[in-house]
Structure 1
Amino acid sequence: MFRRDYLMNMIEQMTEAVGQILQLKKELKHQDALLVIDELLDKRFGISGNLIRSLSDKDLMAVLTTNGVIETDKLQAIAVTLKQESELHAELGNEDASFVSGLKALQLFMRLSLVGAEPTIANPSKEAEQLLEQLKAYELPPHAKQLQAEWLEDEGQFARAEDVLYELLEDEAVTNEEVEAFYRRLLFFEDDRLEAGGLPREEVQYGLDSLISK
């Protein structure tokens, strides 16, 4: 009962806040909308906005974990807020600020998807996909690409995961052994699932053999 009431209150607050932000955007009052976001981050999540901005996505999830239970609702709300902030900065031409907020939102959504978070405030998987599209003009840092590859594999998007892993391999951000491990994991899947993921078994085996022969 308590969690349901808490969740309903949070959904109501987020709906109201996002509606306010969208209305201010429509009125071209972007700076006012950013102030709403600052207030939201400072007052509604139990930790300061400065801490939310300074912590990495991984550390932020650790802070919002108690006795092994992740506060996924709160993290979804934070990620939604940061996504809105990213879009506002993009419309203002603040590309660096837009990228920073968008990247943290993306990584939070991918991590939430990986832990199987129930989509209460937002759907982590769909939001992550949207943010990847939004940030496609930018080169993601290696740690973000590693998380992206893990998330894509978990989503069953094997061909896309392979592409990201080879980008990391070229940049020496992962080892041959790590990519080999990816292919070996895929070999345990049924053919239908590999086909659906864009990486048929013969391509998986070819990729693995190519790495082993190096």
Structure 2
Amino acid sequence: MFRRDYLMNMIEQMTEAVGQILQLKRELKHQDALLVIDELLDKRFGLSGKLIRSLSDKDLMAVLTTNGVMETDKIQAIAVTLKQESELHAELGNEDASFASGLKALQLFMRLSLVDAEPTLANPSKEAGELLERLKAYELPDHVKQLQAEWLEGEGQFAGAEDVLYELMEDGAVTGEEVEAFYRRLLYCDDEKLEAGGLPREEVQYGLDSLASNK
């Protein structure tokens, strides 16, 4: 009962805040909208906006986990807020700031998707896909690509995960053994799932054989 009331209150407050931000955007009051975001990050989540922005996505999720229970609703709210901040900066031409906020939001949404977080404020999988599309013009850091590969695999987008893993292997960010482990995990999937993921069983086996021949 308490959690439901807390969740409903959070949804109501976030809906109101996002509505205010969108209205300010329509009125071309982008700086005012950014101030609303600063206030939201500073006062709503029990952490300062400065800390939220400085912590890595992994550390932020650790801070918002108590006794093994992750506050996925709060993390979703932070990700939604950072996505709005990224869009505002983009419209203002602040490319670096837009990328930084968008990247943090992307990582949080991918991690939420990987833990099957209930989509209370947003659909983490859908949001992650949209942010990846919006950030595709940028070269993502290796650690984000590693998370992307994990997320794509979790989404059943096996061909996409393979492409990212090979990019990482070429850059020396992952080993051939890690790519081999990816293929071996796929061998446990049924043929229909592999086909849907763009990586039929024969291609999985070909990938394994190619790695073995290059050892």
| TM, length-normalised to structure 1 | 0.99
Q: How does 1:177-196 map to 2 (within 5 A)?
A: 177-196=177-196
- Tell me if 1:105 matches 2:105: yes
Deviation at residue 48 of structure 1 after TM alignment: 1.0
Task: Output one character per residue of 1:87-106: Cα deviation in whole Å (capped at 9) or x when no partner.
Answer: 00001111100000000000
For residues 138-170 of structure 1, give each alpha carbon's deviation from its aligned partner in whole angstroms, at most 9, with x where no partner exists.
Answer: 010000000000000011000000000011011
TM-fit CA distance, 1:47:
1.1
Superposition RMSD on alpha carbons, in Å? 0.5
- Paired letter, 1:70: M
Matching of residues 115-130 of structure 1 within 5 Å:
115-130=115-130
List gaps (5 residues or longer) in structure 1: none
Q: How does 1:56-75 map to 2 (within 5 A)?
A: 56-75=56-75
Provide the C-alpha distance between the structure 1 equivalents of 2:197 and 2:178, rounded to a whole number of angstroms.
Answer: 19
Q: Write the mapping of 1:19-34 to structure 2, written as runs, cut at 5 A.
A: 19-34=19-34
Aligned equivalents of 2:7, 2:135: Cα separation in 1: 30
What's the CA shift string for 1:19-67, capped at 9, x where partnerless? 0000000011100000000000000011111110110000000000000
State the identity %: 88
| 1:91 aligned partner | 91
CA distance in 1, matches of 2:26, 2:212: 56
Paired residue total: 214
Alignment of 1:161-172 (within 5 A): 161-172=161-172
- Cα distance in structure 2, aligned partners of 1:209 and 1:30: 54
Deviations 1:169-210 (A, max 9, x none): 111100001000000100111000000000000000001100
The alignment status of 1:207 with 2:207, answered yes or no, reads yes
Structure 2 residue runs of 5 or longer lacking an equivalent are: none
For residues 156 and 21 of structure 1, what CA distance do their matches in structure 2 show?
A: 34
Q: How far apart, CA to CA, are the structure 2 residues paired with 1:17 and 1:81?
A: 9
TM-score normalised per structure 2: 0.99
Segments of 4+ in structure 1 off by > 2 A?
none
